[in-house]
Amino acid sequence: MNKNEMQQQLSDLSIIQEKISMRLDSLEIIRKSDAEEMKTKNKKIIYHLERIDIYINKQKNYKEFKETQKTSFRKNILTAGAVMTILVVLTGWGFFEKGLYTPVPPNATLNANN
């Protein structure tokens, strides 16, 4: 092997080394961009998971609110019914005591021509 062939092989090797280093650099750039892309995707996924969590919590809170609303509505209806019953009974008793109300006998007729 002569000196020219050795120099030629050395120059070929240096060219190959440059190509390899360029490819490694491009792979590093691709790896970095992939890492950035994954970070962005992870941020988007985390954002959507947080939104889903917020939605689920809102649904739970709404269900609890509806249940308490139903319960309080039922309590209000029962209380109003009890108060109305007491008022009707007391009012009727007061009319009866004052003589403003006289019970109708069961055999009485409502015909005005009697």
Question: What is the torsion angle, in degrees rounded to the nearest 10, for the CA atoms of residue 37, residue 41, residue 44 and residue 45?
Answer: -160
Residue 93 to residues 56, 70, 81, 105, 113: CA-CA distances in angstroms? 55, 34, 18, 18, 31
pLDDT at 2: 80
Residues 6+ positions from 95 with CB-CB distance below 8 Å: 101
Q: Give yes or no for residue 114 having a pLDDT over 60.
A: no
pLDDT tens for 55-104 read 988 988 888 888 888 888 888 888 998 999 988 888 877 777 776 666 66
H runs (alpha helix) in the chain = 3-98
Residues 6+ positions from 54 with CB-CB distance below 8 Å: none
pLDDT at 100: 65
Residue 108 — pLDDT band, cuts 50, 70, 90? Answer: low
Locate the domains of the chain by residue range.
Answer: 40-98
